[in-house]
């Protein structure tokens, strides 16, 4: 992670590699385009669904978690931290679905069905 890009204070939550729920407050680095990176103490699986909530908002009641997928997970040498590259997950209502189930559209045109 560089030191010239904007850093935003966020709360990250999800399930770690041992399937234990966690919440961490960290800095989110917002690179060019949609590239976002964070450093976590908890290790998550590549492809894991995690939630990011902005903490710098002046009105916490208006800050809602946004779903992301851990596109890359890299272990940082010597300091027990993991660098995650995040890709935002977008809900997409598919026409013709019987029970109105939402499908999350993910980068590289993959989809995960959720009921």
Q: Write out pLDDT tens, residues 46-72.
A: 999 999 999 976 666 678 899 999 999
Does residue 106 form part of some domain? no
Structural domains of the chain, count: 1
**CATH number of residue 53's parent domain:** 2.40.10.220
Q: Which domain holds residue 67?
A: 7-89
Q: Please indicate, yes or no, if residue 54 is contained in any of the structural domains.
A: yes
Q: Confidence class of residue 92 from pLDDT cuts 50, 70 and 90?
A: confident
Q: pTM of the predicted model, to two decimals? A: 0.72
What is the 3-class SS of 32-63, one letter each residue? CCCCEEEEECCCCCCCCEEEEEECCCCCHHHC
What mean pLDDT value characterizes the chain?
A: 80
Nearest to 66 by CA among 93, 33, 94, 34: 34
DSSP reduced 3-state for 17: coil
111 assigned to some structural domain: no
Asked if the structure places residue 108 within a domain, the reply is no
Query: Is residue 68 in a domain?
Result: yes
- Decide if pLDDT at 15 tops 90: yes
Query: Does some domain include residue 115?
Result: no
User: What is the average per-residue pLDDT within 27-52?
Assistant: 91
For range 24-53, the mean pLDDT? 91
């Amino acid at each position: 992670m560089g030191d010239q890009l904007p850093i935003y204070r966020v709360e990250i939550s999800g399930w770690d590699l041992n399937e234990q729920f966690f919440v961490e407050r960290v800095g989110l680095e917002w690179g060019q385009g949609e590239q976002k990176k964070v450093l976590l103490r908890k290790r998550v699986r590549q492809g894991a669904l995690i939630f990011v909530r902005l903490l710098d908002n002046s009105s916490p009641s208006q800050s809602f978690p946004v779903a992301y997928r851990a596109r890359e997970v890299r272990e940082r040498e010597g300091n027990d931290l993991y660098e995650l590259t995040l890709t935002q997950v977008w809900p997409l209502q598919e026409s013709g679905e019987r029970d109105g189930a939402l499908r999350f559209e993910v980068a590289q045109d993959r989809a995960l069905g959720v009921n």
